Amino acid sequence: MTKQPNTGTLCVQAGWTPKNGEARQLPIYQSTTFKYDSSEQMARLFDLAESGYFYSRLQNPTCDSVAAKIATLEGGVAAMLTSSGQAASFFAVFNIAEAGDHIIASNTIYGGTFNLFGVTLKKMGVECTFIDPEWSDEQIQACFRPNTKLLFGETISNPAGHVCDIERFARIAHENGVPLIIDNTFATPAQCRPFEWGADIIVHSTTKYMDGHGAAVGGCVVDSGRFDWEAYAHKFPGLCTPDESYHGLTYTKAFGQAAYIVKATAQLMRDLGCCQSPQNAYLLNLGLESLHLRMNRHAANAQAVADFLAADSRVAWVNYGGLRDNKNYALSQKYLANGGCGVVSFGLKGSREDAVRFMDALRLISIATHVADARSCVLHPASHTHRQLTDEQLSAAGIAPDLIRLSVGIEDADDIIADIRQALDAK
């Protein structure tokens, strides 16, 4: 058996394999539509009876090549790019849950996803129960209902830094006949491959580490192809019963392991149109080529920063899975053996105003909404990204009012620490 190439090789080589005389670099297929010589061939494309390109909202060669690279990196059978990480999370859930259904999600997930599940999906008739990932199996089990369609978590939560026990979540989900969806944005497949621990579907905000340079917004949904939808056909009629909008085609029977992604493309992307542009996919591919190198540097720098903060008397607390006394240390060692990500959360002794003065005094590190790219940046979630949440919701999501989210970049670690030190002195 031929050995699967290592992650670094896949980052560079997977997805686009040019034929003789074709472009070595992935081309940008900047076209809305594609030409065919016969009406019959076009008809077969619209019937899903043949694979090909006819409109870039549904499929585009540039986007498909990058999606294939990400699927290969994660060890999945298929993937689709979306316009943003939020669109990826929405598509991943709405592809198998509809009005009248119920989902379960960790309460530590990103604030935007928390709002999507708790507010927007509720308006669409999908109810979400948020669970504390540290609850016992029995407490989590008690949240499942006959109409529960999935369990959702994040490998490393944003911004609290909680590490999901993926293997445990997968076992609980499968005992209830539903898939586990994992947001792997902060870990990326360079640090963790959730499919190897039992996850069924993975989502990414490719805007973060995958792009790595703050250049292009995007998202991705990856399917492992391992969940047996037919075994729970009564739970997932959208996949297992005829789709009248495609002449009675049944996705699981027609597409086998690819059924989930085909349905997401043929139905959701067709009707909602949250597609990624070929230009953004091209930029994403450039970022993916150095992902394995950057993630090593992010993790090493973040560990150095976390060690510095933990030793400073002006810092009240530090949360980073690589710290030996951190509650996530054991899970980090299990799931993130190559190191975690570059995001460190901490709080300063004093008031919220002290945190603001600290951030305003930083010189190298920028105050920015963004997170997880080459440049170090910082923000105060309670005042910025999560300001739509009440104090009670912040607490439920594990976000302390004094939490500062520091996204450690790939600059020299000594320079990052020097900037933090001078800002602490100025405070």
Cα–Cα dist 7/5, whole Å: 7
In DSSP terms, 31 is beta-bridged to none
- Which ranges constitute the DSSP H helices of 154-236? 166-175, 188-191
Peptide bond into 237 cis (omega under 30): no
Lowest-confidence range among 104-118, 321-335, 380-394? 380-394
What integer pLDDT is reported at residue 51 of this predicted model? 79
Other C-beta atoms within 10 Å of 168: how many?
17
Nearest-angstrom CA–CA distance, 287 and 289? 5
DSSP strand pairing (201-205 vs 148-154): unpaired
pLDDT of residue 37: 81
Specify the range with the lowest mean pLDDT, choosing from 16-20, 23-27, 38-42, 338-342. Answer: 38-42
Host H or E run for residue 201: strand 201-205
Reply yes or no on whether the pLDDT at 260 is more than 90.
yes
Query: How many CB atoms are located within 10 Å of the residue 316 CB?
Result: 12
Task: Name the average pLDDT for the chain.
Answer: 93
Lowest mean pLDDT among 169-178, 241-250, 299-308, 389-398: 389-398
**3-state secondary structure (DSSP) of residue 396:** helix
* 228 and 200 Cβ atoms separated by less than 8 Å: no
**Side chain identity, residue 312:** D
Question: With pLDDT > 70 as the criterion, what percentage of the chain qualifies?
Answer: 96
pLDDT of residue 363: 97
Is residue 414 classed exposed, middle or buried when 0-12, 13-18 and 19+ CB atoms within 10 A define those classes?
exposed
Tokens representing 185 are: 């944005």
What number is the average pLDDT over the span 201-225?
97
Which amino acid appears at position 31 of this protein? S
The model's confidence at residue 229, banded by pLDDT at 50, 70 and 90, is very high
Instruction: Count Cβ atoms within 10 A of the Cβ of residue 273 and give its class: 0-12 exposed, 13-18 middle, 19 or more buried.
Output: exposed
> Distance between CA 320 and CA 337 in Å, rounded?
14
How many Å apart are CA 163 and CA 153, to the nearest integer?
9
pLDDT at 413: 98
169, pLDDT greater than 60: yes
DSSP-H helix ranges across 1-156: 7-13, 39-46, 61-74, 85-94, 111-115, 121-123, 137-141
Lookup: tokens for 255: 């597409």
Are 240 and 233 spatial neighbours (Cβ–Cβ below 8 Å)? yes
* pLDDT at residue 301 in the model: 98
Give residue 397's Cα distance to chain centre.
17
Q: Decide if pLDDT at 1 tops 60.
A: no
pLDDT at residue 43, as a whole number: 77
Instruction: State the average pLDDT over residues 320-333.
Output: 96
pLDDT tens-digit readout, 185-209: 999 999 999 999 999 999 999 999 9
CB distance 159 to 166 below 8 Å: no
Indicate the SS3 state at residue 318: strand
Query: How far, in Å, are 66, 153, 291, 294 from residue 287 at the CA level?
Result: 11, 25, 6, 9
Confidence band of 36 (pLDDT split at 50, 70, 90): confident
Q: What is the pTM of this model?
A: 0.93
The string of pLDDT tens digits covering residues 119-147 is 999 999 999 999 999 999 999 999 999 99
Contact (Cβ atoms closer than 8 angstroms) between residue 404 and residue 376: no
